[in-house]
């Protein structure tokens, strides 16, 4: 998923935190809701400006961010 179409960072909006484009709903807020066990439908009820694809973009953004933070494992030397 091309999450870049859905996520924006602007120093003038929410202190530059990543948000769903066109909203002030932060990626952190959506991820916290998911971590607490909220279903996508519940998040959409809580934030009516969001669509399901926005929530999926947040998940893709988090996955890409986590991948960037993971150390690259070295290949074992087998001799």
CATH code, domain carrying 12:
1.10.10.10
34 contacts: CB under 8 Å, gap ≥ 6: 43, 55, 58, 59
Q: How far apart are CA 55 and CA 20, in angstroms?
A: 9
Q: Which domain holds residue 47?
A: 3-67
79 vs 21, more confident: 21
Residue 34: inside a domain: yes
| Confidence at residue 73, expressed as pLDDT on a 0 to 100 scale | 60
Q: For residue range 19-68, what is the model confidence (pLDDT) as tens digits?
A: 999 999 999 999 999 999 999 999 999 999 999 999 999 999 999 888 76
Domain count, the chain: 1
């Amino acid at each position: 998923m091309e999450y870049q179409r859905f996520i924006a960072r602007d120093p003038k909006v929410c202190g530059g935190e990543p948000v769903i484009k066109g909203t002030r709903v932060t990626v952190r807020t959506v991820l916290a809701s998911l971590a607490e066990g909220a279903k996508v439908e519940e998040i959409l009820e809580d934030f009516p400006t969001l669509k399901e694809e926005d929530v999926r973009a947040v998940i893709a953004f988090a996955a890409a961010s986590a991948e960037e933070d993971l150390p690259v494992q070295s290949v074992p030397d087998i001799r």
